Amino acid sequence: MTSTSPTEQSGTHVAPQADHGDPARTWLGRIAEGRAWLFLAGLIICFEVWSRLSFGATFMLNPFNVQSIAIFAVAPLLLATGQTFVIISGGIDLSLGFIMGLAAVVAAHATNMAGAVIPLPLAMLAGILAAVIVAGVPGVINGLLISRLRVPPFIGTLGMFGVARGVAFLLAGGTTVPVQNSWFALLGNGRFYGVPYLVIIAAVFVVVMHYILSQTRFGQHNYAIGANVQAARRAGIDIRGHTLRLYVLSAMCAGLGGALYAARFTAGAAQAGEPLLLDSVAAVVIGGASLFGGSGTIFGTVAGALVIAVIQYGLVFVNVEPFWQFIAVGFVIIISVLIDQAQRRFSGARQDE
Amino acid sequence: MKKIVAALAALAICATALITPALAQDKKFTVALVPGLTTDGFYITMRKGAQAAADALGVNLVFQGASDFNPVTQVPVLDAVIAKKPDAILIAPTDKVQLVEPLRKANDAGIPVITVDTFIGNGVYQTGAGEADFPLSYIASDNILGGEIAARALAKAIGDKGKVYVSNVKPGISTTDQREEGFKKEMAANHPGITVLETQFNDDDANKAASQLQAMFARNSDLVGVFGANLFSAIGAANGVKQAGQSGTIKVVAFDAPVSIADNINSGLVDVAIAQHPAEIGYFGVVSAYAHLTGQSIPVEIGTGFTIMDKSNIADPNISKYLYSE
Amino acid sequence: MNSSEQTTPLLEVRNLSKHFGAVRALNDFSMVVRPGEVVALAGDNGAGKTTLIKAISGVFQPTGGEILLRGQPVTFATPHEAREKGIETIYQDLALADNLSIGANIFLGREPMRKAFGFLPVLDRKAMAVAAKQTMGRLDFHVSRLDAPVSNFSGGQRQAVAIGRAVYWDAQILIMDEPTAALGVPEQRKVISLIHQLKAQGRGVIFISHNLQDIFAVSDRIVVLRRGVQAGDRKISETNHDEVVKLMVGG
């Protein structure tokens, strides 16, 4: 802190440090908080230099690359935003990958069925709506298991992972379900002044989720529950109701992810989200959330998802042996968690005044 | 030529097997089919072929497998199947090495093993050499040949010159490894104008396959083709082509043909699809097992065929019947 | 504080009993707390202190007896109801969300909202910070960094936040369970002075402690529990350590 600053003396000035539960203002806290963006910046610089030295080509100043990375990050990011809420509350949602697959299959079927009776743009909306609503069902079950029957989130959502997966495969009949709807395909692959619709949708979605997490009671209670569930209960917060809404919210994020997957690949596939689940958890952790709950931000998660996308895209771009991708992402996760631990140790011991 | 001989031999055992049920048939045989995974159109179609043969021969077919392609989940299913002592096991092993010992247990228990689609060891059985020669037969599409066919189709589509690469799942899967091997072999031997770039592995994630295509294109603006070694590799790469605005310029050859591939071909997303004949594999698997159980000898290798699908022939019912259906 | 109120007890507990099956955790217990009075509750482990405060704060329903608030009989189905009537319990583990600011903790569960851009409801962090500053000021506790999470503060400061929350919501009776137990000596002093502040504001405090030093430093009266029954009720000015210890152990 710069104690020489005159505004500090007044003591009355309240920084509208709005985005979450008011961060520790130690420098280490700030680094921990913004670490995902620092990683991102470092990675981009690293790839830029690498690319220029090896190939004499720019990496990040090439709009094609920016666009490709953005599209790449959309699906894991949608899962990761819901996961951010869950992880902040101290839980984890392992069912998101297959809820996304379920939603993709439902979106494909519903869009096709609706397309037979109503105009295509409406059928598209019906398909998306159906996907999000159907995705909510396993969310409700997750929420009830965890809040009413006190099943630990890890186990409850693991069970739901199996159920959603089975239902998705049954609905899909073990194959991919093609979508016949030109509007839906346009949504998944079209552009608005060069910006893919998918990226626009994801950006709007992220802003809305950021608002919910940082500016509503729901978000505030989510942080409180993650830090101290007893305190939250004693403060009169309806923990059960909150938990239920929380898992429905995260399932619906995956539902939207599934619908957009179906739009992009013009097909619903039950296994669509399977490889994305761990990436979603990784994005949240790289983004600065603690798996112990109580901390994390949506914009951190955005950076986390971009870090993963940049590594995976960048290593292909600079032509590195593919297996290094796993190693690189693994390292970033470990470093990220180490910074989180260090920050905790220091700020935990820190006494003010 | 060897393939044709093998196919004829297969037809011959079919004929004898189909003629003889009345003779040897006091006991109803039970044959277990353990697929690579239960939730894939390919194996579901294979099961239909196997069921057709089982019905014709009066064999009881049991279909049991894990829901993902992984030895860790397949082995317990296999153990449970062995415990029920079927008369024969047809299996698509999920790993060349890791399934050897689990399958040896079946063999030691006197249950004949036939591998379908994928193999253990090097896929050459009954030679007395090596640890994994005990299965009686390997019945599959010749995936090296499939890779070669894909290479020829792609070469033709791109005018025999330019840069291409293989979009693959992950290393260690015998079938996709062989497709890649066949593809590269054919390109190196007969298409000197074509450069094959580094293979990209996507973990069966279409999103990642798409991103990899975009990155490859960003680095190699003269990229003209991609071979997707399985369904998700192909539709992912195809979407990458679309996102990169290169539809029509970068040609996509897909291996495998679920029903959705027909739409992809019609919409121009995928240029060529190589369909295997999984129903044939299942059919010959059951027939071979039955032949063995009734005292006939069977060939150690049966190669089933491929169908090449593109815009010009996909509407033909003789072609589209090879789409993998539910 | 209005002197005429001095005579009406803020809280009166009459013949309160709580049985768990055959176990009589609390038996026929009575006590009063007057405005501006600090009553210490002493007793060995298992003497029934926890049962008593849980009955008063609505966690348990008493088996028998009654609770009167300003002379009116009351029953609490939940802790929430007790809090609504002005009885606030401050637990040893403080019940704070460590990752939130003082203001956010004070308002936890009843956050003030405002409209951004005239339509969008958002948390009114400014109002929370202002209230936090005022409330902490009333406790003579001054903090310059109102946006910092409470995990950054010391044990005594956090105790002050928990008390501040009760004060902000106008609790008339504060039940404090071992508020000094986990603190260093300077911090203990700070809490003792906080209790003096509450007393000066005319609130009633029930103070549970093992530490007789603290009890004698801050309390007006001491009520001793032994095996679920009231073993003594003394004015601090008329008793001493030895007598209290005897009452506790039944010597």
What pLDDT sits at residue C80? Answer: 81
Q: With CA atoms as reference, report the closest residue to B209 among A173, A272, C141, C54.
A: A272
Largest CA distance in chain A: 70
Instruction: Please check whether residue A345 lies inside any domain of the structure.
Output: no
Local confidence band at A350 (pLDDT 50, 70, 90 cut-offs): very low
Q: Which residues contact C235 (CB under 8 A, 6 or more apart)?
A: C220, C221
C-beta atoms of A68 and B216 within 8 A: no
3-state secondary structure of C224: strand
pTM value is 0.79
Name the residue ranges covered by the structural domains of chain B: 2-135+277-305, 143-275
Instruction: Decide if pLDDT at A114 tops 50.
Output: yes
Of chain A residues 183-212, which have a CB less than 8 A from chain B? 185, 189, 196
Question: What are the chain A neighbours of C143 within 8 Å (beta carbons)?
Answer: 352-353
What pLDDT sits at residue A204? Answer: 96
How much of chain B, in percent, has pLDDT values that exceed 90? 60
CATH architecture of B2-135+277-305: 3-Layer(aba) Sandwich (3.40)
Instruction: Decide if pLDDT at C231 tops 90.
Output: no
Nearest Cβ partner for A220 among C79, C80, C104: C104
Nearest Cβ partner for C95 among A216, A223, A231: A231
C-beta atoms of A237 and C109 within 8 A: yes
Q: Which of A119-123, B1-5, B243-247, C195-199 has the lowest mean pLDDT?
A: B1-5
The number of C-alpha atoms within 13 Å of B287 and in the hemisphere containing its C-beta is: 26
Angle at which helices B278-293 and B41-57 cross, to 10°: 40
Average the pLDDT over C120-134 and give the result: 90
Number of domains in chain A: 1
Instruction: Decide if pLDDT at A112 tops 60.
Output: yes
Residue B66 φ then ψ, to 5°: -95, 165
Measured between CA atoms, the residue of chain A closest to residue C81 is: A236
C-beta atoms of C157 and A348 within 8 A: no
What pLDDT sits at residue B20? Answer: 52
pLDDT (tens digit, 9 = 90+) per residue, A225-270? 999 898 888 888 899 999 999 999 999 999 999 999 999 888 888 8
- Are chains C and B in touch, 3+ Cβ pairs below 8 Å? no
Nearest Cβ partner for A189 among B217, B242, B325: B242
Nearest Cβ partner for B211 among A177, A313, A321: A313
Rounded to the nearest 5 degrees, what angle is found at the Cα of A19, between the Cα atoms of A14 and A20? 90
Q: Which range marks the domain in which residue A271 is found?
A: 35-49+62-339
Q: With CA atoms as reference, report the closest residue to A283 among A255, A299, A303, A297.
A: A303
Nearest chain B CA: its distance from A353 CA (Å) = 51
Average pLDDT of chain A is 84
C-beta atoms of A234 and C95 within 8 A: yes
pLDDT (tens digit, 9 = 90+) per residue, A269-311? 888 888 888 889 989 988 988 888 888 999 999 999 999 899 8
C-beta atoms of A348 and C146 within 8 A: no
Q: With CA atoms as reference, report the closest residue to A284 among A326, A332, A351.
A: A332
C-beta atoms of A228 and C153 within 8 A: no
C-beta atoms of A176 and B207 within 8 A: no
Local confidence band at A2 (pLDDT 50, 70, 90 cut-offs): very low
Question: For the range A337-342, what are the long-range contacts, defined as Cβ-Cβ under 8 Å and sequence gap of 24 or more?
Answer: A337/A285, A339/A31, A339/A32, A339/A35, A340/A32, A340/A285, A340/A288, A340/A290, A342/A28, A342/A32
* A276/B contact by beta carbon, under 8 A: yes
Local confidence band at A103 (pLDDT 50, 70, 90 cut-offs): very high
C-beta atoms of B211 and A69 within 8 A: yes
How much of chain C, in percent, has pLDDT values that exceed 90? 16
Local confidence band at B218 (pLDDT 50, 70, 90 cut-offs): very high
* A62/B contact by beta carbon, under 8 A: yes
* A294/C contact by beta carbon, under 8 A: yes
Q: How far apart are CA A56 and CA A76, in angstroms?
A: 31
β-strand pairing of B30-34 with B60-63? parallel
Chain B contacts to A (CB-CB under 8 A): 38-41, 43-44, 67, 198-201, 203-208, 210-212, 214-219, 231-232, 235-236, 239, 242-244, 258-260, 262-264, 267, 269, 324-326
Q: C133 and A12 in contact (C-beta within 8 Å)?
A: yes
Measured between CA atoms, the residue of chain B closest to residue A57 is: B219
C-beta atoms of A294 and C98 within 8 A: yes
Average the pLDDT over B65-73 and give the result: 83
How much of chain C, in percent, has pLDDT values that exceed 70? 96
What pLDDT sits at residue A15? Answer: 34
Average the pLDDT over C146-163 and give the result: 82
Instruction: Decide if pLDDT at A12 tops 60.
Output: no
Instruction: Please check whether residue A15 lies inside any domain of the structure.
Output: no
C-beta atoms of B267 and A266 within 8 A: yes
Average pLDDT of chain B is 88
Nearest Cβ partner for C104 among A12, A22, A351: A22
Instruction: Decide if pLDDT at B42 tops 80.
Output: yes
Instruction: Decide if pLDDT at A13 tops 70.
Output: no
CATH 3.40.50.300 segments of chain C: 3-86+172-249
What pLDDT sits at residue A30? Answer: 65
Q: With CA atoms as reference, report the closest residue to A325 among A335, A313, A334, A337.
A: A313
Instruction: Please check whether residue A5 lies inside any domain of the structure.
Output: no
What pLDDT sits at residue B151? Answer: 96
Instruction: Decide if pLDDT at A29 tops 70.
Output: no
Instruction: Decide if pLDDT at B1 tops 60.
Output: no
* A221/C contact by beta carbon, under 8 A: yes
Q: Tell which CATH classification among 3.40.50.300, 3.40.50.2300, 3.40.50.10330, 1.10.10.10 matches the domain B143-275.
A: 3.40.50.2300
Give me the total of CB pairs closer than 8 Å, taking one residue from chain A and one from chain B. Answer: 125
Instruction: Decide if pLDDT at C7 tops 70.
Output: no
Q: C35 and C1 in contact (C-beta within 8 Å)?
A: yes
C-beta atoms of A266 and B269 within 8 A: yes
* A16/C contact by beta carbon, under 8 A: yes
Helical spans, DSSP H, in chain B: 2-19, 21-24, 41-57, 71-83, 100-108, 143-157, 174-190, 206-219, 231-243, 260-266, 278-293, 317-320
Nearest chain A CA: its distance from B125 CA (Å) = 31
What pLDDT sits at residue B326? Answer: 61
Q: With CA atoms as reference, report the closest residue to C80 among C185, C169, C207, C211.
A: C169
Nearest Cβ partner for A275 among B203, B214, B219: B203
Q: Tell which CATH classification among 3.40.50.720, 1.10.600.10, 1.10.3720.10, 3.40.50.300 matches the domain C3-86+172-249.
A: 3.40.50.300
Instruction: Decide if pLDDT at C207 tops 60.
Output: yes
Residue B88 φ then ψ, to 5°: -155, 155
Please indicate whether residue B18 or residue A27 has the higher confidence score (pLDDT): A27
Q: Find the length of chain B.
A: 326
* A175/C contact by beta carbon, under 8 A: no
